[in-house]
Amino acid sequence: MQTATAEAPKLAYSIKEAAKVSSLGRTTLYAHIAANRLKAVRIGGRTVIPAESLHALIAGEA
């Protein structure tokens, strides 16, 4: 018998994860960040993209 585990929705994506889930390249993501169409947050040494910012870009709202 299998047990179902509910996975919490992601709050933010690394650049690599964002590229994978959005089918956009890293260079394209960095270009959107530079143009202020995509929000990126530095936490320690990592750059993460808030999920709502990535969703807005894909939906054409950015």
Q: What is the 3-state secondary structure (H, E, C) of 4-56?
A: CCCCCCCCEEEHHHHHHHHCCCHHHHHHHHHCCCCCCEEECCEEEEEHHHHHH
Q: What is the pTM of this model?
A: 0.82
* pLDDT tens-digit profile, the chain (62 residues): 666 678 888 999 999 999 999 999 999 999 999 999 999 999 999 999 999 999 999 999 87
Torsion-angle region of residue 12: left (phi > 0), alpha (psi -120 to 50) or beta? beta
